[in-house]
Amino acid sequence: MRKVKISLLHLLPIAGDISSNQKLIEDAVRCAAAKEVDWIITPELAVSGLQFSRKIGKQWINQQPDEWMTRFMDLVKSLQVNVFLGCPEKSNEDKYYNSVFVIGKNGQLLGTQRKVSSVTDDWSSSGEAIEPISVDGIKVGLSICADSYTPAIANTLLEKGSEILIAPSAWGPGLHGPDGEWEQRSIDTGLPLFVCNRTGEDETVLFWEAKSLVIKNGEHLLSHSSKQSAILTFEWNLEERDMISDQFDVEYVK
């Protein structure tokens, strides 16, 4: 049976507190790796928090990998896991992007997806390329938060051969919260969709009841929300495209 063991890091990053967020990510990745997982996924902008620009601006954002990410890639290599890391980046053209970096267990960058739907990001440009990234021979499509709002990106990822959709997100409930978009994308494509959301709060957004999810055919197979950072681990049957675990293995992180 072909399977993959995954940890979703349902974290509580603090907007603009970069060093604390980096330490939180490192600690959570170490804890998850101890569970002998294959993939570790962080929420959208785990390094910075969602509304960081209101506190610290964007001039601190570097081209990647910067000094910290280089050390982090070495950590990933030492732990022999694959990590999907939500982190802002600056391009060679001095544009800024809300990105997810996929770091392989060899410590090398497997690929990057830049968020396309940047309407609500006052600091970032819209990404253009939409390509699946091969992780352990599996084509993974990344749909960052609001990129799941319409079917266009998920459908493009399906057409390009994606076998799994992953949605690193910072999308809390409320007036503009998620309202069936992830579920519909899984129905549209017929692909499983793994949502790695977050908890906590930023200046104008509350995430305390935000959910991390495993979705198949529009149905929630697994769901979690919490007031503190948590590592949510499960196993997925790649051949049957179905759950092996009947619930998340939850470990809270201080």
Is residue 170 scored above 90 in pLDDT?
A: yes
**pLDDT tens profile 182-191:** 999 999 999 9
Contact by Cβ (8 Å): 102, 82: yes
pLDDT at 64 over 80: yes
pLDDT of residue 83: 99
Query: Where is pLDDT greater, at 101 or 118?
Result: 101
- Report the candidate in 25, 30, 23 with the shortest Cα–Cα distance to residue 9: 25
pLDDT for residue 120 is more than 70: no
Could you tell me which residues come within 8 angstroms of residue 231 by beta carbon, excluding any fewer than 6 positions away? 7, 8, 9, 10, 28, 31, 32, 35, 250, 251, 252, 253
Arithmetic mean of pLDDT, 149-159? 97
Lowest model confidence (mean pLDDT) among 100-114, 126-140, 170-184, 199-213: 170-184
What are the tens digits of pLDDT across the range 196-250?
Answer: 999 999 988 999 999 999 999 999 999 999 999 999 999 999 999 999 999 999 9
Percent of the chain at pLDDT > 90 equals 94
Q: Please, which residues have CB within 8 angstroms of residue 35's CB and are 6 or more apart in sequence?
A: 5, 7, 231, 233, 249, 251
Q: What percent of the chain has pLDDT over 70?
A: 99
Name the phi and psi angles at 14, rounded to 5: -105, 125
Count of Cβ atoms closer than 10 Å to residue 176 Cβ: 11
- DSSP state, 126? P
Please state whether the predicted TM-score (pTM) of the whole model is above 0.85.
yes
Whether the per-residue pLDDT at 119 is higher than 70: the answer is no
